[in-house]
């Protein structure tokens, strides 16, 4: 079975969507002639033409707003924002218009737009280009927020997202684009539920996005010490799959949440709150979390690594949770 990269899986997902529905088009900075900042759309302009693959000016507020308008008008736009920090320039369009439009129109209109963006740190791009702000958007009613962490989900989440009558944000961790895996027969991914990536009995590691490979590596390291760690990939950040979170914690009775966002006000905090609300009396230890340090992400590699969740930090936190 051939191996496929996360980037190639995303490209094939776009190609399939463009072929299946003439209303679908891709727009964003450098998505056409350049092939996308992360080469996701490489070759699509030659295949589908300028009407379907549209390079935009450097104005996130402008082209995200145009994508929202196109969606209201009946199209199915995929809007690519280069990195998550640039999405801040379009916050008004995303949060104050797209997310609220169904409510403000009394249910008469939806905004079936898909907005994709790279997120996360680890590439020495310093403080302005290393954000993990998924939890900001996961806070907003009216949005669906996805974080594909596997090649399979990168391939399978786009088409179901395009079928959603409301706006969907897809966060692609930049460290995942080169990750390769075997891809079985392509199929639509579940954009409603979390996914159990590893069975275990001693504690649950709950994570998403770019931290999933680290969590799996930590689980492997813990196994060498006789610790059986279960790994739950949230993958849908809004709405959170509270049932899956509660189920894994009921099974292992310990929870460790790994989140690249900063600790204060993090998605990890919300997950832990739901654990306490749902399964408090079944816990054998207080829930714990591993998050990024409370600093702007440094440029220097050794400092950047120190600021982010890493495998050794996850292993150490898990052992503390087990009283080792």
Give the start-to-end residue ranges of the domains of the chain. 3-182, 195-321
Other residues' Cβ atoms within 10 Å of the Cβ of residue 226: 8
* Token pair belonging to 67: 């994508």
Same fold, 3-182 and 195-321: yes
The pLDDT value given to residue 187: 83
Q: How far is CA 100 from the centre of its chain?
A: 21
Other residues' Cβ atoms within 10 Å of the Cβ of residue 130: 26
List beta partners, residue 292.
262
Q: Kindly list the strands in the beta sheet with 229-233, ordered across the sheet, starting from the edge strand earlier in the chain.
A: 195-198, 229-233, 203-207, 255-262, 288-292
The pLDDT value given to residue 186: 77
DSSP secondary structure letters along 182-215: E--S--PPPSSS-EEEE--SSEEEEE-GGGHHHH
Domain 195-321, CATH? 3.40.50.920
Catalytic residue from among 14, 80, 129, 172: 129
Q: Kindly list the strands in the beta sheet with 76-83, ordered across the sheet, starting from the edge strand earlier in the chain.
A: 53-55, 24-28, 76-83, 114-119, 168-173, 144-146, 236-238
* Token pair belonging to 207: 């994570």
Burial 52-64 (b: 16+ CB within 10 A, else e): bbbbbeeebeebb
Calculate the dihedral angle through the C-alpha atoms of 280, 282, 284, 286, rounding to the nearest 10 degrees. Answer: -20
User: What does DSSP assign to residue 123?
Assistant: S
Contact 171, 209 (CB under 8 A): yes
The pLDDT value given to residue 2: 76
* Token pair belonging to 301: 């590699």
Positive or negative CA dihedral for 243, 248, 250, 254? negative
Strands 229-233 and 195-198: antiparallel
Please give the CATH topology (third level) of the domain spanning 3-182: Rossmann fold (3.40.50)
Catalytic residue from among 60, 80, 152, 270: 60
Is residue 129 annotated as a catalytic residue, yes or no? Answer: yes
Is residue 270 annotated as a catalytic residue, yes or no? Answer: no
The pLDDT value given to residue 311: 98
User: What does DSSP assign to residue 281?
Assistant: G
The pLDDT value given to residue 75: 98
Distance CA 270, CA 139 (A): 10
Positions of the chain with pLDDT lower than 50, given as ranges: none
Task: Compute the residue count for the chain.
Answer: 324
The 10s digit of each residue's pLDDT in 291-322 is: 999 999 999 999 999 999 999 999 999 999 99
The pLDDT value given to residue 1: 61
Alpha carbon distances (Å) from 164 to 13, 57, 181:
16, 27, 27
């Amino acid at each position: 079975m051939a191996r496929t990269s996360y980037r190639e899986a995303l490209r094939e997902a776009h190609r399939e969507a463009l072929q299946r529905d003439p209303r679908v088009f891709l727009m964003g900075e450098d998505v056409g002639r350049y092939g996308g900042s992360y080469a996701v759309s490489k070759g699509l302009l030659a295949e589908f033409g300028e009407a379907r693959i549209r390079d935009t000016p450097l104005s996130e507020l402008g082209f995200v707003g145009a994508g929202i308008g196109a969606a209201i008008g009946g199209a199915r736009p995929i809007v690519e924002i280069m990195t998550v920090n640039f999405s801040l320039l379009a916050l008004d369009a995303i949060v104050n218009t797209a997310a609220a439009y169904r409510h403000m129109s009394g249910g008469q209109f939806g905004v079936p737009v898909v907005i994709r963006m790279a997120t996360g740190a680890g590439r020495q791009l310093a403080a302005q280009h290393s954000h993990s702000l998924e939890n900001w958007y996961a806070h907003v009613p009216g949005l669906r927020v996805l974080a594909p962490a596997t090649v399979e989900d990168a391939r399978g989440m786009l088409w179901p997202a395009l079928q959603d009558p409301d706006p969907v944000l897809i966060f692609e961790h930049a460290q995942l684009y080169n990750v390769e895996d075997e891809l079985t027969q392509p199929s639509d991914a579940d954009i409603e539920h979390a996914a159990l990536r590893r069975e275990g009995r001693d504690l649950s590691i709950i994570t998403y996005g770019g931290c999933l490979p680290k969590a799996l590596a930590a689980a492997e390291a813990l196994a060498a010490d006789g610790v059986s760690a279960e790994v739950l990939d949230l993958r849908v950040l809004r709405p959170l799959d509270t049932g899956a979170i509660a189920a894994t914690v009921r099974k292992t009775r310990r929870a460790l949440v790994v989140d690249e966002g900063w600790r204060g006000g993090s998605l990890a905090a919300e997950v832990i709150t739901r654990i306490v609300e749902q399964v408090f009396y079944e816990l054998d230890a207080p829930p714990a979390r591993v998050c990024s340090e409370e600093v702007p992400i440094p440029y220097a590699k050794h400092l950047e690594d120190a600021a982010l969740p890493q495998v050794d930090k996850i292993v150490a936190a898990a052992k503390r949770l087990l009283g080792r």
